[in-house]
Structure 1
């Protein structure tokens, strides 16, 4: 006998077992359902913050926008037009249409009053002359 003739009975046996298993009928009883707790609807309303965008534009003498600074919440970024480098013409590889936004990061507020540290308070007390008692 050839090798393929030995494989046919094994293949037919596995296919027959598979079809017999797949044809079993499900039970006629309905599935058991669990009762869920009823929750009252509180009527939660979500309101979005109004957009607080501040746009500042800088223009040249001919009225073209040279720079736009956008402050949106805590983020600040600057948009500038794309000027092609050198002799690049519109449509060349060197003259891309888009220029990415420049984000402002690590900017410190120097005008804000800071809280005095303990060392500064001690130094200030040491440098101030003592007050004389009031005259009687």
Structure 2
């Protein structure tokens, strides 16, 4: 019984504080405002980032279907080819297979071209030859 008798005063105190807070009205005076210093507005120029260059080259067969698409986007190059299932299988069938991923071009070597000889490889030290006298 003593336990409930000690809770009643605390409960009444909390309840009276709540009702007193709810009955208070805000003041009618406007809030105090601070003046902000004016600064000169400098013109701001916003320029768009240059769009990366994309070059798409498509190869088509005689019926007009795309056989291969080569995409060059910035420094990277990749080739896309359609997934052609074997036989009469349709895309999405069990025998049709999944999508075909892109083939990234990693390194290209130009084997067919001949190298230009530099002056160091020729063995000649003089780049300008004197005119031939007959």
TM-score, normalised via structure 2 length: 0.49
TM-score between both structures, scaled by the size of structure 1:
0.48
Which structure's CA Rg is the greater one? 2
